Amino acid sequence: LSSIQLYECFRALCCKGPPPPRPEYDLVCIGLTGSGKTSLLSQLCSESPENIVSTTGFSIKAVPFQNAILNIKELGGADNIRKYWSRYYQGSQGVIFVLDSASSEDDLETARNELHSALQHPQLCTLPFLILANHQDKPAARSVQEIKKYFELEPLARGKRWILKPCSLDDMEAVKDSFSLLINLLEERDFEPSRM
């Protein structure tokens, strides 16, 4: 190798500098108690699935992905907490809504009402939504098509950016793929010209 080639090799190896920082996005994660929010987020953070307790107030997790870091504020889904959800929406750049696709009709109706409220909330209505139909591994689970129809997503969310995906703890790769799609929507939003 000539001295010029050695210099070029040295520069390529040593002078590249640190990789550019990954963008960070602040997200809110909502859904009824028992929908699996805490379990999904814990698995994404590679935390032990044992000792998972339902979130009673809220918790924040930084979930690292290859091309972004998601700071996810998970809000508890109990009746007495849901009425306070909107107090935690400010500053959110995207929404994750987790629903139990194998839940009772009553719980599914409640989840539908909560999702409709979120989609229409002034602080969330322009944000990208990732809707996860969780517990697809359960026999009573409804399909994504059934969920989409029951939740009336086509007419309600027309013109909004949303993704509806099936998921379960058995297939975390599919969950990660769903989050990657959400990151793509967040990145697209970053490059949109600001509206005057």
Residue 33 marked as a ligand binder: yes
37 is in an annotated binding site: yes
pTM of the predicted protein model: 0.86
Q: Is 156 annotated as a binding residue?
A: no
Cα(20)–Cα(123) distance, rounded to whole angstroms?
30
CB 128 within 8 A of CB 185: yes
Residue 166's pLDDT is 97
34 marked as binding residue:
yes
| 110 labelled binding-site residue | no
Residue 29 CA to residue 77 CA, distance in Å, equals 10
Strands (E), the chain: 24-30, 58-64, 69-75, 94-100, 129-134, 162-166
Q: Is 57 annotated as ligand-binding? A: no
Question: Who contacts 119 (Cβ-Cβ below 8 Å, separation ≥6)?
Answer: 125, 129, 156, 157, 160, 162
Q: Is 123 marked as binding a ligand?
A: no
Q: Which residue has the tokens 């409220």?
A: 117
77 is in an annotated binding site: yes
Residue 115's pLDDT is what? 96
For the record, the structure tokens of 75 come out as: 């809000």
pLDDT score of 191: 65
Tokens 């960070």, residue located: 24
Helix axes 37-44, 172-191, angle to 10 degrees: 80
194 among annotated binding-site residues:
no
Task: Give the model's pLDDT for residue 170.
Answer: 92
Mean pLDDT by 10 residues, the chain (196 residues): 60 61 94 94 84 78 94 94 94 97 96 95 94 97 95 79 94 95 89 49
CA dist 73 and 58 (Å) reads 7
